[in-house]
Structure formats: C-alpha cells, structure tokens
Structure 1
Amino acid sequence: MTSTSLTPQSVTRQQAAVSRLTAEYRTDTPFVAEPRPRLSWVTDTDSTGWQQSQAELRITRGGAVESVVQDGPESVLVAWPFGSIAGGERVEVEVRVTGNDGGTTDWSEPLALVGGFVAGSWRAEAIGLPAPAGEEPRLGQPGQLRHEFTVGEGLVKATLFATAHGVYQAEINGTEVDDQVLKPGWTAYADRLNHETTDVTALLTPGPNAIGIWLAGGWFTEKYGFHGFAKPFYGEQPAVKVELRLEYADGTQETVASGPAWRATTGGPLVSSGIYAGEAYDARRAEAGWSAHGFDDARWLPAPLTEGDWPEATPATAPPVRRIQELPVKEVLTTPSGATVLDFGQNLVGHLRIRVTGEAGRTITLRHAEVLEDGELSLRPLRQAAATDTYTLAGGIGEAGEEEWEPRFTFHGFRYAQVDNWPGELDPAAITAVVIHNDMRRTGWFDCSDPLLNRLHENALWGMRGNFLALPTDCPQRDERLGWTGDIQVFSPTAGYLYDSLGFLDSWLRDLALEQGRRDGVVPIVVPSVLGMLESPVAAWGDAATVVPWVLFERFGDTGLLRRQYTSMRDWADALLKVRDSSGLWQGQMQLGDWLDPAAPPDKPGAARTHGDIVASAYLFRSLDLVAQAAAVLGNDADHGTYATLAEETRQAFLAEYVTPAGRMVSDAQTAYSLALMFGISTEPAQRQALGDRLAELARLGGYRIATGFVGTPLIADALTATGHLDAAERLLTQTECPSWLYPVTQGATTIWERWDSILEDGSVNPGEMTSFNHYALGAIADWMHRTVAGLAPAAPGYRKLSVAPRPLNSLTHASTSHETPYGLARVAWKRVGDRILVDATVPPGTAAVVSLPDGSAEFEVGSGRHSWDVPAAAPAPAAGAASLHTPLAAIMDDPQAYAAVWQAIDVHDPAAAAAFRRDTVWYRQTTLEQSLIFTQPAVKQDIAAALAALSGNRAAKTPKNS
C-alpha cells in the first residue's frame, strides 16, 4: 500500500477562514423560528489534520457588542450562547476560530438574524370568501381578499405574518411579497399551523397602501380516500389570517390585521383550484390594480369571519416550496388520435408556464401524465386526479397581445402534457415546465463509469425532488400524494445525503408526534393522517417514529431533534409492547409487510414472500433497540437499560422462532435474511455467515433479479456485502432484466417507479390499481452506492468522523461521491489503473476518517486534508471455462456469457420461450442445463449446445498454453 497526504502545491497556503455561518434550520431568510437558535459554521483550511480548539462568538444588538469564548471542537448546532432574540429583534452574529495549528481566523461575515415569531398574541381574525351570488359555494372555492390602510411617515420596518387553512399568496401595492409557492404548506392542521414571516418594508410608501391575498383550498379542502370513497377531511372552504406589523422611527407600532373590514370576491380570474384536479383561470375576469390602493369594485363583499379551531401558528422550520428549475420542451408529438403532446424528457413535479396570443374567450386545456400508452397520454394511473389546467384568454393584453400564465395553487407529476385548443401553430418555446419543490440545499453527488448506474442515481434524485413538496409524499401525480411513513422510513438515509433535508424532516416529525399523540402512541400510516384506516400499529410504517430521528442524528448530529422526538420514539415502542405476544414477538396482525415484493400479484401488493410476522417482529426489535440507543445518547440510563433488555428478549425470541440452527429462515426469502442481518438480530459470526451465504444463494437462484419490496430493498445489498458477497450485490445492482433497479432505466425511466414493473416488458402499463412512475422508496439503493460503491459514510454522528471504505465493483473502472457534511465537503473517488486501485479522499477540517482500503489491509485513521492511496486491485476471478449442456445451472448463471448464449439460442426459435427461460428458471447447483431443458425441442437443444461449444472454443483459443 502506498499512501500520501496531499496539499495543493500550485497555490499558496491560505489562512483558515470561516466560510459559512448559519442558524438552524433555514438559510433562505434572516428570520429564525426560535429565540435561541443553534449555530453552525464551516472552516476552510488546507492545513492537514486541522481541528478547532476554540471558538469566539460575538453578537451585536442595539449597538452593544457581546462576545463569548467556547473551548473545544464543537462547530455544528452549537447552543445559542447569548440572551434570547425577541420577536422582531434584529441581531448580527460573527464567529472566529482558533485551530490546533495555533492560527486564528478573521471574523466571519456577519450573520443577520431576526426573531421571526409573533411577539405577543395574534390580532388577526380568520376570514374567508363570500359565497358566489345566488349559489352555494363549491368545495374549496378560490378567490381574492384585499384591504387598504395608511402608512405614516418614518416607517423603519414592516413585517408580514400570514397563515391559512388552505394556500395563499400575498401582494402589496401590486407586487407579490416573495417567490414562495403553496404557502404555508401542509401540516397537521388541527394541531399545528406554519406561518411565514416576510420583510415587506420596501413595498410600502407613506400614505395609502393596499394588501391583496390570493386564496385557495389546497390540501385543506381536498378530498382524501380511495376507491370512490374520497371525502373532505379538514374543511370545505379556505380561510386566512394576515397580520402586518409596522414599526416607526419614533418607536410607535401599528398592526394591520385581517378582519371583517376586509373585502373579498370569488368572481376573479381564479375560477377553480385543486391539488388533484388542477386549476382553471379565466383571464377575462382579471381586474387590474386589485391589490393596489384606490381600487373599488362593488362586487367585492365583506370578508366573512370563519369558524373552527386555529392552533397557534408557529414559524416554518422547513425551507419553502419555490420554483427551482425550468425545462424546455424536448419534443412535440402527434398522438394516434391527432392530439398534440409535449415531451419534456424528464418526469418532473410542477406545472406549465405558457405564453400565448389569441382571441378572447378561447380556452386552452393542459393535461398532464407521466407516460404514454399506445401513443396517448396514460391517464388511468392518475385514478381520480384530473391533473388538468385550463386558461381562458383575455385577448389583446400584454406586449403584442401576448399573455403569460402559470397555475398558482396546484402541481402535477408529469413528463408529458397534452395541449388542446392552442390558437394557431404551437411554438414549443412558448411552453415551459416549471419544477417546484422545497428549496433544500443540494449536498450529495455520485458518478461512476456505468451510465446506467448514473441514471439510476439521477432517478433517485429526481424522485426525491418531486416528493419533497411540503412533506415527504409517496407520489406526486395521482389522487394520493400523502405522507406515507414507510416510504420516508426507508429513504431517509438517501434523503439526508442528497439534500440538506434536516429542517424539512424536522417539520414533518413534529406532525408525526402530534398525530401519534392523538392515538395513544400509535403512528398512522400517513402523516398528516387523513385516511382514517389502519389505526393499529403497522410495522415498517409506524417505525418511522424511531428510524427517521435516529437517521437524522447519524447524518446531521442533531442531538436536539433526537431529544425532542425521544418521547415519540418511546411512545411508539410502548405501543408495540402492547401488541407483543407472550413469546416476545409481534405476530398475528394485519401488516403491509414487504410491500410490492415483485412476486406479489398486481392487485395484492402486500402478498410478499417474507411473512408479515417476520417483518413485524424484526421492526419490533429495531424500534426497541433504537429507543435504547437514543436513551444512551441522551443520558437516560434507566430507559436505556429497560429498552435494551426488551430488545434483547425480542432478538432471542426472533432467532428461536424464525431461524433454524443451520442458518435458514422460516420464510426462505431475501427480505427475511436481510432483516436478520442488517438489524443486528443475528450476531453470532457463524450464524451470520450461514444467513449471508443462503441470501447469496437465493439471489443466484432467482437469476440475480430483485426479489424484495419496500422493506427488503434498502437492506439486501448491505446484507450481501457484510457477509462477503459483494459480487452478488453487484449482480443485483447491474441486472437489467425485470425486475431489477436498472430495468426501468432501460425502459427510459427518469424517476424511480413504484413497482419494479410499472411498465411491463411488452410496453404496457402495469394493470395494478397502484402504478406510479415517481416513487422514491426503491431508490434507497442510492445510499449503498454512496457508502459502499464509492465509499463515503458517517463513522460518527454528523460526520464528525468519516468512513472511507470504497469497495470497487468488478464492472466499474471508476466511481466517486461527494457530500457536503456539516463540516464541509467530503469526497471519495477511486479508479482502476492497470492492476492497481487509486483512491483519493478529502476529509473536511475539524473531522477525521477511518479508512478501510479495498486491498483488505487493516483499518487506520487519518486527519483532515487530502489523501491518496495506491493499492493492488483484487485478483481477477478465474476465467470462465468450458460450458455445455452438462454444466450446472448455477455455473451458467454465474457465467454471463454462457447465460446469454443459451437464451439467445432459444430466442432464435421462440422469443416467448426465451423470455420464459430467463424469467422462470431456478438456477440450482445440482441441476444441469440439460436437465432443465427436458421439454425443449431437440433442434433448440442442438443450437444451445453449438452456441456453448463455440463459446468454449473461443475461450480455449485465448487461454495461454503452458510452456
């Protein structure tokens, strides 16, 4: 092994500097949600082995300066060391640090913070929209509200606070107050409302001013449910609370608050709006200047006060939804029916923006879908979601009569959009796809020599982007889009790597705990809970209460979040103890189990090969064990002892009930073995090896096609790797036949599918009731690609210590990954050069790394800086030998060339038989190829034998003769 630590020689060494100072959790606004926000900073230095030894923080408030010195290395989520920030108070914070090299940085750039919470109680009243004249209001009827007010001389600050039962946007004097979308998002409305805090000082002038509100029902008035039984859950009409606080130079304050003096209308251009249905806009009904002073229209009526409970609104901790990216039309298609369909080349979440010129009254219709079927939009997977927007032209407005529009309060999951009734010839440049999601900071990247694997990783990324919208949803397109707990439970490690999702998931976990509190510790299957079904504990779904906080602790080092969620974690564990039977296991209850095992029938997605009792009992252990670990971190020794004992009882009971002495499992299925191995249920080395060996054999018996659902898929590659079967994990990962991770990629997928075969091999859409083309759960494999294929993982909470442990796959020539850790950018890359593996690693300042190189040498530790190693590549596998009809099936499967020769020989005669051979053969060790072909025609067998003989002859010709 050759090792070097690298410092760039082409540049002069730079003095250490604090490059980023932030306060939890949002970085897009100076407003903070807490009076004592924790602080984090990143130090840049090329000094190797650098560690912070001291930090000095100072605060400027009201002209006074105060500083605090803290010894030690802490620089992530550091407790606020000053007096609390008052609501509306502005302070500036700076930090400088001293390293173990003796150098001290300059002060960081000042970080301005403002108390973003309401000082005192809200004065705003909840107001809604008047019913349309002479008719009953439609469900979720959208509309507008407005109010005029006067601003005096000497205004120094104006802060807008607003929240809604529904979704809103505010305008002041004709200008939108920010660039956010779908405010205030979706929370557990009965218990928690978010408000946004916005500095609107620059939008006001002395004298008369006006504020306007666009309002729609959004998630609040949506219908939830399945199979035609959907109904409103929260309320039937939207409402809003608005409060504008004005502060003057002489110290006086005024408050402009929503109330019955405001005016409202449902007769504006926003005709209808729904999350699932889409939006209808009639530009002929638009009224210029409606949010500016001096507007007067007798059709606007007093805004009615609304009834219902409004919990105290608190500042949002998640970054807001914004327009993140724009995609042009990639191709214009004409369908068999003659319709015009736009292909944007990427399955995305958002809406269309159009620019159009035409006559007044013409209505353009925009329909959205993820895939085409028989050349037309495939609408069946949307179920009851219309996913349709309409725009009626005003005619003759704007420059050269051009009108521009995009929906305001809806979103769609789509790659394709059908455009009907466009005036004249459609110029594709006139329509743009606008991508929206919560505006999180990208933090994770991956690249390798296989373009299919790169696309798989990109699909997982796009799946997360599309489903991290207000809350972590299952899918973004059909009549669902719910916060399914099981999906984020398995995907949270990947999410924490790809994006800084801490604030986003912190917000959702608050809702989880609130919903759980209404159910005696039981976590509902969706959060917020709107389905009213499966109110008993469900394994792998409810366990999000323990798993997600622990993952966030591991990936971000957030002990504060772990402490806040600990009661929720423990309550879930206690709820499980109530259903645990006398054997110490969780058995005999309805479970979702290893959901969408590819062997499950289309209409029975829970009918998996691994029994639901095994999944439930494994998660019982997992949650008890995580509560014990969390208690230890938090210094709760009593709880640690209690739950560790309970976890051990369950572990022993699981082994006694489900694992044979020889290391076989009662459900002889891949997910069962993966659970026992990766949850730490099996700990005895010989037993673990037996379980791993059987798991690898099952993978080969199935032809290295995936055989796991939501539960097993995030675990199987790790389980194989941990027991010495990296080659089997590689075969699973790089398989392109259905079902596999790469099968959708070969079918043109640009996001992760819900089903392994959402599109069947004949090109048709899966007939199952659930067929989404944007579900991130099965994309959890990306985390293994980061940690194992490229080799970067946390070795201590929050990456305070890194694991650098690349495991090169034989099929790759290089791989790399980068992650913006809380301490700065970390990177691991490897490449093959001849018979050597070159490994490079960047370890951020303030951290260290445990290194395990792929040559099998002993682990060692390095400090921060750039490092490189040159080690021998693993010895190549012995060259495949001769193959014939007498070769065992297992050897044929483990010889990709022989396998291809066999099925291709069959395919010449009968493609259907070749497909059946690939799909249905069980690749036994003790069965020969000839024995498996007993019903095959002699001519086909002759061609197979000839193909294998030709392959064997070519191999023999290339084998060097012994001298």
Structure 2
Amino acid sequence: MKITKLRTNQMENPLGFEYDRLTLSWVTKVEETDKSLFQSAAQVQIATDADLTYIIFDSGKRDDINRLAFQPDIQLKPRTRYYWQVTIWGEHDEQATSSIAWFETGKIDESWQGKWITPDLDKEVHPLLRKNFTLPSDVVTARAYVCGLGIYQLEINGSRISDEYFAPGFNAYDFWLQYQTYDVTDLLTNGDNAIGIMLGNGWYKGRFGFDGGYHELYGDTFAAIVELVVTLADGTTKVIGSDRDWKSAASPIAFSGIYDGEVYDANKERTNWSTANFDDSDWTGVHETTVDTEEFQARLSLPVKIKEERKPIEIIHTPAGETVLDLGQNMTGWVRFKAKAAKDEKLKLQYGEILQNGNFYNENLRTAKAEYTYISDGSEREVQPHFTFYGFRYVKLTGFPEDISIDDFTGCVMYSDIEETGRIETSNPLVNQLFKNAMWGQKGNFLDVPTDCPQRDERMGWTGDAQIFASTACYNMYSPAFYNKYMYDLREEQKRIGGSVPFIVPTIKPENDPGFVTGNGSAAWGDAATIIPWTLYMHYGDKALLEEQFDTMKDWVDYIKRLDDETGSNRLWRVNFHFGDWLALDGKDPAGLMGGTDPFYIASAYYCYSATLVAKAANVIGKTAIEKEYNQLAEEIKEAIYNEYFTANGSSAIPTQTAMVVALYMDLIPESKRPRLIEDLKVKLLDDGLHLNTGFVGTPYLCHVLSENGLNDFAYTLLLNEDYPSWLFAVKQGATTIWERWNSVLEDGSISGTGMNSLNHYAYGSIAEWMYRHMCGINPAEQSPGFQKMTLTPKPNGQLSYAKASVESASGYIESGWELKADGSLIFSFVVPFDTTAELVLPHANLEEVQVNGEALSRTNLDAVQAKENVKCELVPGTYVFDYTPKKSYQLSYSSKSSIKDLLGNNQAREIFYKELPEIAHNEIAKKQNLETPIRDFLTMPIISQFVSEDKFAKLDEKLKNIKL
C-alpha cells in the first residue's frame, strides 16, 4: 500500500490559507504484493516540526477515520506550519505510513503591523512601491503577508517572490478581501535588503462590467499592505511593514486593464528597483489609507499560474497583409516573446479567437481591445504582460521585424492551480476533440472565478454556467477548493439580498445600476446555491464542506418559498425574471435568447429540484426535521407542477425537448406516467430529425435522460451528429473549445454575430459528464459519495468501436472502458481503487457466458447475478477484464428478401420497428448501410445485434410476419 495525495482542505501543502474548518484526506494505492484491499484502521499525527517530534495531535489507531475527510480537533495558532502524517492498516494487518505533508496558517486573528499605503501620485499612474531594510543576522524563516489593489506583483532583492499572477484575485471586495502568504526565506540575506511591490488595475479599480464596463467598481486608489516577518539566527524576529517610510514612483506600465490589455514602456524602467543598492532619492512618498471592506482574511483563492506553455503552429501572412500567430488552440493567458526592436519602436500584439476570410478578427470581443503594446528601449529581451490576460488562438503582430521566428514566441496557458484528473478516449476522433474542447473550455474559464468566457468585455462568474458545468468540472479536474472559494463569494452576496442569489458572482455593483446588472433570483442560475454544494459532496465526500454550505442551500429555497407564499403561486414559481432555457433553438423568434420552454415552468422545476437537494443534504448532516420539511415541500411543488403543466395521461403541455427532459431528470411526474413522457420525448426527437434544440437548461440533462430511460441509442446519435445543430458541428468547423451558441460560427466559416458570441464558453461542454457517466459508466454512489462506492454502468453503442475513461477521484484511480470486436463480442476493462467497491452492470449479458480475467464469471467468488437483460456484479478493488457476446437471435420468420428500404417505406412496419427496437430504429445506421440490405442481415450484424435482445426479436418477428413489406 502506498499513501498519496495528502491534502489539507482539499489542497496539497497549502500555505497561508483560511482554515475555518480543518479537513485532512489521502488516497491509498494498492501495490502488487499487497493482500489488503480495504483500510481497516488509520492513525493521524500532527506536529509542529518536520520530524514529528513535537506532536500536538494523535488520533491513535482507529477504525472510524474517514480518509476522505478526517477532521482533527485542534486549535490552530497564527503563522504556524503544521506537519502531519497518516498510517493505515489493511484488513490483513498490512501497514503503510505516508510521507509527511504540511499546512501553514496565516495571521488568523493577529493585528497587522503593516499599514495600507497608497502612493503620492496621480491615482491613474501605475506605481512602484519600495523600502530598504537591514537584517542583523542570517535568516531562519521569513514570510511575506501581502495584499495589493487592484492586483500586484511583489519582489524582494530583484526577484519575483512567486510564480503566481493576478493576486489577490477576484472576489466580492466590498464584503471581504484576502491576503496572500509567501515563503521568502531564500530571497533574503544577512545585511541590506529591499522589498518592492508593483500595482495594476485588475478587477478592483479598472474598467470591468456590463455594457463596456464600469470604472472603479470597488475603489479608485492603488493601495498595498505588506508585512514581512523574519525569524533570525540570533533568535529575534523582525517585522518589516508597509508604512509612511516607503517610497513610490511611476512604473513602466502606462496602462493596464482586464479587458483592454497593457502598455509597457521599457524606457521608463527603473533597473534593479527592488534591490538594496538602488538609488530612490528622486522617488516620492506614500501615505496611509483605508480600504473599504468588511473582512480582511487569509486567502481562499487558489493561485493563478502559467500551467502550460505552447509554441505557435504557424506564422500566417494574411490576405490583408497582416502577420498573425496561430497557437493552434483557443486558450487563456498571453504570449511571451523575444523583443528585438530599436529604441522607442512599438511592438503591438492583438488577440483574437478566429480568422475571417483568412484575416485577423476580434470584433466578437466587443469593446475589449485585448492588446499588448511594448515600447522598446533598444535591448533584446523576453517580454510578457503583468496585469492582464487574453482569450485567444490568434495574435496579430504589428511593428515586429520581418525575420521573426516561431521560436521567438511562447503561448502561456494560465488558469488556477488545479490538477487534471479525467481522461476520455473513443474510436471517433471528432468525439475525442470534443472532449478536449470541454477540457480546454474549463482551463480557459477557471481563472480564479468560474467565468462564462475569458476574452470579451465580460469574463464574469455567471452562476448558471458554473452550476451547469460543475459535475463535468469535477470529473475533469480536482475542483473542490476552487469551487469552495466561489461558494464563499456566493454566500457573502446571498446574505445581503435575503437568500436570493445574483446572476453573477462576484456581483458587479456600479453606482448607477441600469437594473439588470445587479439582478438576482433567476432559476437555474440561482440554483448554483444548491447544485454546486451537492455536486462537490457527491464527487469528494467531504461532509464538512456540505455542512458549511448548507445554509446557502436552505436560504435559496426559503427565498423562493417566500416569493411563492407572498404571491399565492401555490407551490409554483411564477414571478421574477428568468433566463429560461437560455439560447435554445426552439423559440418562436429565431433570434430570441430564451427558447420555447415556459420560463416559469423551468423555475418551478428548479424550485422542486433544489428543495429535494436541501432535503438530501439535511439527511447527510443529520437534520432530520429539515429533511422531512423539504421533502414535503418538494412533493407539494411536484404535485402543483403536474397539475399545471401535464395532461392527465402524463403528456407535457409544453411540447419542447427541454420541458420533457427536465421533468424526467428532476423526477417531476409520478412513476406510472414516466413511460408516456418517455415515449413523447422519443417522438419529439424523431420529429426534430434526431437533433437537439435545447439551451443552457435542457442540454446538460438531455443525454442523461435518454440513456437512463431506454433511449441510449438516441443519446449516441445526438452526440455523433455532425451537422447543425450538434456538438460535432463545432468540431467539424475547427473549434478547439466549446462555443457559446450552437452556431457561433456558420458552415461557411463566418462568425454568426458579434453581440454575444464567445468561442470559449463551456456550458455545452457538460456533455462530457454524460461521457463519463453513461458512455463509460463511472458514477459516484449517493450512499457513499466520493467514489467510496461507485456504480460502473457503461452503455456501449455500435456507432463507436471503443470508449474508455479514467478519473483520479478522491478515492483513487478509476478506469472504465469497452471495446466492440469485429465478431460482435464485447470486452470491458475496469480498475477499482483501494478501499472502494463498485456495482457493475454488464449490458445484454448472459451470466453463464461472461468471462472475467480469463475465467467464467459464474465460477468466481465475485457476487454476480442475472438481472433481466443485464448481469450485475459486485467488484472489490482490483483490475478486471470482462468479455462476452451480447444476447441475440437470428431466427426471423419474415422474408429475408425484405429490405431496409421496404421497412422504412411501410408506415405500419416502420411504426412497429420504432416501438420494438427504439435503440436502433431511429438512428441513421440504416441510411448508412445499403438500403437494399435484407432486414435480417441488417439486424444480425454484430454492430446492431448487440443491442437487440431475444424477446425483442420475438416481438418484432410476431408483429412483422403478417405484414407485406
């Protein structure tokens, strides 16, 4: 056994974070010689030294320690590093001890010796702030506690202190502000030292917001606070704090902005400005100031870093005479380049997502200039921005010499410091690219806040987008700490508006609010309050996180119920503005935004769904009275919805794909009525030519509902459609991220509009969750979340020859894949991690024919049973390969001369075919085969017969044999 991924509050070795709760977790991997498969006991020790000599907490050997979320009972001290180690025992008494992990506290409740300071400069001048200081002996440890507004970079003795960018991040500055902690021990020296901080506008001070943005949303002044705490070899501690003794001067940055970019004049550089030997005699002073925020606390934001680097794939010389870099990938960050220009020459980089007619284009960025201007001092050097970022694939170069080389440029991919955890691969290259597009959409939009887009004059934390993509995000990347910070912002906003939830978090609050900007209370958007916490719990099994966010969940539902009670809506939500099924294609107005599904129906559905999630969360944390109350509320809402929006026999009165999908996904109708609604959805999809027309609400649930209700083949067809509207339409058009609209780019390559058209907008990338859950079958179990127990339910389809997925889950490495062989047999492969169990469902299988790891399943000690069409099997940790030939029958009594064309041309036969064989009847396989192919040959092809059980063949045989085809 090997213990890995030791995490504190879901982070590895976190420095200076806020620890209102302390949770430790780890992952154990099985090694070849191990006999034990489960953790039988564990012991956690915490000490104040790296050798674990001074132990302050020892759990002792216990059998009740949860490896996903162990909470030690200790009181944390300020500015202290704690070291911890875990030892586990397996059921065969094998033992393993981890390496030593650590976490370090910030100032906690200590008062600050450093003061907020601001330069004696015009408030629009980007400043440098600095101070010299002396250390009388060698440094043992040193920490910098710092915050700068808008955003900052800190240097000591001429070196950047960290590889982090855009600190302190984007949060609800008026409610809380976070400082960062850095270990700067190695940057200090005995004797003379210097510290300096550079400030830019960022979200706090610069242009940001709707309709071209607003200036000075939170403040109008550059400001910084620094406290350097140094422990010396002579046993003393020295504190160097920001105060009136610091000095200031204009920086080389003439301008910075999130939307517009940066202007940097190298001629105005102050060489070695953050070193001790720099002459600052001509610098001006600073004065103390105050920052208007309610709380100033340790960080929650994960650092934003350059996570990847990419070289351009091509330098393009466009028909318009432009020089354009193609990075080959739509991404977020910037380009680092080698500057070779004469003194005072300007080098300009403009960023865009797409070419038009072969030329550079960025009009879909609206008012965002998205450019970087470098004014050369004549020296050759490597250059990159400081206080801005871009969403782009293409970069237009102006002022550069003709002999530039690709090697002179590097694309820097920037996002929050989150680990990739998920992988998907199939036999279809377009599907593989779609998955990559969803992953890149997440990378591009997980920059401190889960934004809607990273490129235009928006880049905001829309709550609807955040909740829609949350589960996909958790499969793709290890996301709990990232979302925890976002939910903290959401809670701070929510507390001040009576339990409602803003459209965007953090909310943009201009003084002259036109109305929409600070809107709140929209269904599906506000339901981020319930859906994200529950999603995090399901993926990571951290009950403490659910407890922390429970009031957020409950207050949101209470807000809706209050509106319901006050307006007499009788358990329907029929007031407020709602976005409806945003950007759906089924509205009366083709240019409309909200689709054809009644927004109040959607609102009422989410009212019910969120009430159910509150009840589930209450059950988990032991609040039984609340569980009962909200289950009752959900039942009342469900009854009201059924009476208002459904006919007596269970048909939806709103004939849209989304209306039916939402009802099935959120369990809004009686169980006895589900077959009728499923049939109606099937007919609706057939009427729509087996193409989706759903928007932000319907799309995330669409394929889940189909696969869960006997229409798995429909789900695959929707996934694999290549024409508009479909996921693969964008891929065929060359997309490398997910588009905001199904037709963001038209078939001729022209962009469909500029008003609201992002090419990196991850909401529709939520199809990746279906790929993990249904195509490959990896699902956390509600009774034991965090993949302590999982269900493996892969659902193969003959339109692919293989699919496989893997997830580095909170419980360890999970793998699930399948392959369809040419002879019609299926091979499944699985990896189940240590200390977990899995319920496996093998589709269309006969127990007696299934082989596992080369042995008959029926003869192994695995707990396996025959369940109608499937075989169910309980798996313990290990690696498995199952193979079998799915059920099929070749005995058809109707004429083998009858062709597919005959069947499709006969109304009565076609209706029977669709009803009895829904998995294959609707799709395009028949059209792809020779229409003259005999029906019997078609149905017994391996690619088809794996989905057709013997009883279905019998029904078809009986009903078709008397029909003259």
- The TM-score with structure 2 as length reference comes to 0.88
1:308: Cα distance to partner?
Answer: 3.4
Structure-2 residue corresponding to 1:443: 421
SS of equivalent to 1:41: strand
Is residue 650–residue 669 contact of structure 2 (8 Å, CA) maintained in 1?
Answer: no
1:768: Cα distance to partner?
Answer: 5.3
Distance in 1 (alpha carbons) for counterparts of 2:47 and 2:77: 14
1:958: Cα distance to partner?
Answer: 9.3
Matched, 1:247 2:247: no
Q: What does residue range 17-416 of structure 1 map to in structure 2 within 5 Å?
A: 17-27=2-12, 29-34=14-19, 37-46=22-31, 47=34, 50-61=37-48, 63-65=53-55, 67-72=58-63, 74-81=65-72, 83-105=74-96, 107-118=97-108, 120-132=110-122, 137-138=123-124, 141-228=125-212, 230-266=214-250, 268-395=251-378, 397=379, 402-416=380-394
Structure-1 residue corresponding to 2:932: 952
Distance in 1 (alpha carbons) for counterparts of 2:183 and 2:575: 56
Is residue 36–residue 84 contact of structure 1 (8 Å, CA) maintained in 2?
Answer: no
- The TM-score with structure 1 as length reference comes to 0.88
Is residue 24–residue 77 contact of structure 1 (8 Å, CA) maintained in 2?
Answer: no
Matched, 1:809 2:809: no
Closer, same or farther in 2 for the Cα pair 1:671/1:121, shift >3 Å? same
1:897: Cα distance to partner?
Answer: 6.5
1:288: Cα distance to partner?
Answer: 1.0
Distance in 1 (alpha carbons) for counterparts of 2:552 and 2:170: 20
SS of equivalent to 2:748: coil
Is residue 793–residue 804 contact of structure 1 (8 Å, CA) maintained in 2?
Answer: yes
Distance in 1 (alpha carbons) for counterparts of 2:206 and 2:902: 62
Is residue 363–residue 754 contact of structure 2 (8 Å, CA) maintained in 1?
Answer: no
Is residue 588–residue 596 contact of structure 2 (8 Å, CA) maintained in 1?
Answer: no
SS of equivalent to 1:846: coil
Structure-2 residue corresponding to 1:866: 879
Distance in 2 (alpha carbons) for counterparts of 1:743 and 1:166: 41
Distance in 2 (alpha carbons) for counterparts of 1:688 and 1:48: 47
Matched, 1:701 2:701: no
Q: Deviations for 1:244-295, whole angstroms, at most 9, x for unmatched residues?
A: 11123454322111122111122x2111110000011111111111000121
Alignment coverage as a number of residue pairs: 884
1:432: Cα distance to partner?
Answer: 1.2
Closer, same or farther in 2 for the Cα pair 1:841/1:233, shift >3 Å? same
Distance in 2 (alpha carbons) for counterparts of 1:158 and 1:843: 44
Distance in 1 (alpha carbons) for counterparts of 2:589 and 2:356: 18
SS of equivalent to 1:294: coil
1:518: Cα distance to partner?
Answer: 1.1
Closer, same or farther in 2 for the Cα pair 1:219/1:730, shift >3 Å? same
Moved more, 823-832 or 493-502: 823-832
Moved more, 602-611 or 351-360: 602-611
Unmatched tracts of structure 1, length 5 or more: 1-15, 902-949
Closer, same or farther in 2 for the Cα pair 1:416/1:603, shift >3 Å? farther
1:455 is matched with which residue: 411, 433, 437?
A: 433
Closer, same or farther in 2 for the Cα pair 1:263/1:874, shift >3 Å? farther
Amino acid at match of 1:96: T
Is residue 57–residue 69 contact of structure 1 (8 Å, CA) maintained in 2?
Answer: yes
SS of equivalent to 1:232: coil
Moved more, 141-150 or 272-281: 141-150
Closer, same or farther in 2 for the Cα pair 1:373/1:56, shift >3 Å? same
Aligned CA-pair RMSD: 2.5
1:224: Cα distance to partner?
Answer: 3.5
Q: Deviations for 1:647-667, whole angstroms, at most 9, x for unmatched residues?
A: 110011111111112222121
2:466 is matched with which residue: 462, 473, 488?
A: 488
Distance in 1 (alpha carbons) for counterparts of 2:937 and 2:707: 35
1:597 is matched with which residue: 559, 581, 584?
A: 584
1:694: Cα distance to partner?
Answer: 1.3
Closer, same or farther in 2 for the Cα pair 1:368/1:852, shift >3 Å? same
Distance in 2 (alpha carbons) for counterparts of 1:807 and 1:688: 21
Amino acid at match of 1:896: E
Is residue 670–residue 699 contact of structure 1 (8 Å, CA) maintained in 2?
Answer: yes
Structure-2 residue corresponding to 1:798: 786
1:593: Cα distance to partner?
Answer: 0.6
1:954: Cα distance to partner?
Answer: 9.2
Is residue 342–residue 376 contact of structure 2 (8 Å, CA) maintained in 1?
Answer: yes
Structure-2 residue corresponding to 1:842: 831
Is residue 220–residue 238 contact of structure 1 (8 Å, CA) maintained in 2?
Answer: no
Amino acid at match of 1:660: T
Closer, same or farther in 2 for the Cα pair 1:88/1:897, shift >3 Å? closer
Distance in 2 (alpha carbons) for counterparts of 1:831 and 1:411: 42
Closer, same or farther in 2 for the Cα pair 1:763/1:793, shift >3 Å? same
Closer, same or farther in 2 for the Cα pair 1:895/1:707, shift >3 Å? closer
Amino acid at match of 1:101: H
Distance in 1 (alpha carbons) for counterparts of 2:215 and 2:384: 28
Amino acid at match of 2:120: P
Q: Deviations for 1:532-576, whole angstroms, at most 9, x for unmatched residues?
A: 526341000000001100000011111111111111111111110
Structure-2 residue corresponding to 1:521: 499
Is residue 35–residue 86 contact of structure 1 (8 Å, CA) maintained in 2?
Answer: no
Is residue 713–residue 923 contact of structure 2 (8 Å, CA) maintained in 1?
Answer: no
Amino acid at match of 2:19: E
Q: Deviations for 1:816-869, whole angstroms, at most 9, x for unmatched residues?
A: 111111121111111123222111111111111111112232433221112232
Is residue 35–residue 84 contact of structure 1 (8 Å, CA) maintained in 2?
Answer: no
Closer, same or farther in 2 for the Cα pair 1:957/1:458, shift >3 Å? closer
Closer, same or farther in 2 for the Cα pair 1:591/1:126, shift >3 Å? same
SS of equivalent to 2:842: coil
Structure-1 residue corresponding to 2:735: 749
1:737 is matched with which residue: 714, 720, 723?
A: 723
Amino acid at match of 1:360: K
SS of equivalent to 1:742: helix
Q: What does residue range 580-659 of structure 1 map to in structure 2 within 5 Å?
A: 580=564, 581-600=568-587, 605-659=592-646
Amino acid at match of 1:289: N
Is residue 351–residue 411 contact of structure 1 (8 Å, CA) maintained in 2?
Answer: yes
Matched, 1:717 2:703: yes
Is residue 700–residue 728 contact of structure 1 (8 Å, CA) maintained in 2?
Answer: no
1:602: Cα distance to partner?
Answer: 8.8
Is residue 35–residue 85 contact of structure 1 (8 Å, CA) maintained in 2?
Answer: no
Amino acid at match of 2:901: A
Is residue 693–residue 723 contact of structure 1 (8 Å, CA) maintained in 2?
Answer: no
Distance in 2 (alpha carbons) for counterparts of 1:816 and 1:25: 27
Moved more, 234-243 or 323-332: 234-243
Is residue 36–residue 94 contact of structure 2 (8 Å, CA) maintained in 1?
Answer: no
1:577: Cα distance to partner?
Answer: 0.7
Distance in 2 (alpha carbons) for counterparts of 1:544 and 1:230: 26
Structure-1 residue corresponding to 2:658: 671
1:600: Cα distance to partner?
Answer: 4.8
Distance in 2 (alpha carbons) for counterparts of 1:772 and 1:887: 46
Distance in 2 (alpha carbons) for counterparts of 1:530 and 1:347: 27
Distance in 1 (alpha carbons) for counterparts of 2:777 and 2:158: 52
1:42: Cα distance to partner?
Answer: 1.6
By relative contact order (CA 8 Å, sep 6+), the higher-ranking structure is 1
SS of equivalent to 2:488: helix
1:81: Cα distance to partner?
Answer: 2.9
Distance in 1 (alpha carbons) for counterparts of 2:498 and 2:66: 38
Q: Percent identity?
A: 35
Is residue 168–residue 214 contact of structure 1 (8 Å, CA) maintained in 2?
Answer: yes
Distance in 2 (alpha carbons) for counterparts of 1:960 and 1:875: 8
Structure-2 residue corresponding to 1:918: none
SS of equivalent to 2:508: coil
Moved more, 886-895 or 323-332: 886-895
Matched, 1:770 2:756: yes
